[in-house]
A and B are shown apart, each in its own frame.
Chain A
């Protein structure tokens, strides 16, 4: 009998940590579905929201608190289900007001050999990276690099799972 041996994966790599967590969440979501209406558009939409949150949560938990962006995302996810949006925004406002003084010194023109790092693009980046509002430019760039690496891992794993499931 020919046994298919899949290539060995490093069990502590980011990819396998994320894949394990995400698959677990997926099977939980799968188990919760009401069999009668599982194909209705509302159910599909609701499940899509849950899957998206599960993916982000799995990635954030796989990175733990080692990174500012993962800490920010975990915090965001914890306050999200309770619906207590007011708590989150007030804390962020307090933070950004304190950091805005620093922001003016770091996002003002930093001249490198290749040109000027404008504040506008850095602000756009701050909105995209979780927790970016409270970072200075150096940490922002550092966190962005790691965030992009994790996002690409997330996309690759999700793509593999989707391809596996599709007929």
Chain B
């Protein structure tokens, strides 16, 4: 069983992935989420963190969609010169 698991890992080491590493990663994810940290932030369950992560990714996807739509509508009314201006401003 451990050999099957090590084959699926990309680092190629044969050690088992410890639960501590998993919980470390889960807490790292928890830090990235924009929720208001409550007093029990250390004890949030992994399942909850994963759930919140899924919701957050979905909301980010929705934001990208909305912004793309907004940009599409805005492009209908502007000309090419402004794109060049923005590019030069941002590339400095």
Q: Are B75 and A9 in contact (CB under 8 A)?
A: no
| A residues near B70, Cβ cutoff 8 Å | 162, 166
Q: By the criterion of a CB under 8 Å from any partner CB, how many residues of chain A are at the interface?
A: 70
| A residues near B90, Cβ cutoff 8 Å | 6, 9, 16, 19-20, 23
Q: By the criterion of a CB under 8 Å from any partner CB, how many residues of chain B are at the interface?
A: 57
* One of A11, A105, A152 near B5 (C-beta < 8 A): A105
Q: Are A23 and B87 in contact (CB under 8 A)?
A: yes
Q: How far is the CA of A144 from the CA of B76 in the complex (A)?
A: 35
* B38 beta carbon closer than 8 Å to chain A: no
* One of A30, A52, A68, A152 near B75 (C-beta < 8 A): A30
- In the complex, per-residue mask of A136-162: 1 if CB is within 8 Å of any chain B CB, else 0: 111101101101110110110011011
Q: Are A55 and B68 in contact (CB under 8 A)?
A: yes
Q: Are B57 and A129 in contact (CB under 8 A)?
A: yes
Q: Are B32 and A24 in contact (CB under 8 A)?
A: no
Q: Are A26 and B72 in contact (CB under 8 A)?
A: no
Given contacts A111-B19, A136-B5, contact A51 B87 (CB under 8 A): no
Q: Are A112 and B86 in contact (CB under 8 A)?
A: no
Given contacts A20-B90, A43-B76, A162-B74, contact A114 B58 (CB under 8 A): no
For residue A123, give the distance in angstroms from its CB to the closest CB of chain B: 10
* A65 beta carbon closer than 8 Å to chain B: no
- Residues of chain B from 46 to 77 with CB closer than 8 A to chain A in the complex: 46-47, 50-51, 53-54, 56-58, 60-61, 63-65, 67-77
Write the chain A residue with the least CB distance to B84: A27
Q: How far is the CA of A162 from the CA of B73 in the complex (A)?
A: 10
* Residue ranges of B at the interface with A (Cβ–Cβ < 8 Å): 1, 4-5, 7-10, 17, 19-23, 25-26, 28-29, 32, 43-47, 50-51, 53-54, 56-58, 60-61, 63-65, 67-78, 80, 82-84, 86-87, 89-92
Ranked 5 nearest A-B pairs via Cβ: A115-B45, A121-B50, A141-B25, A27-B83, A48-B72
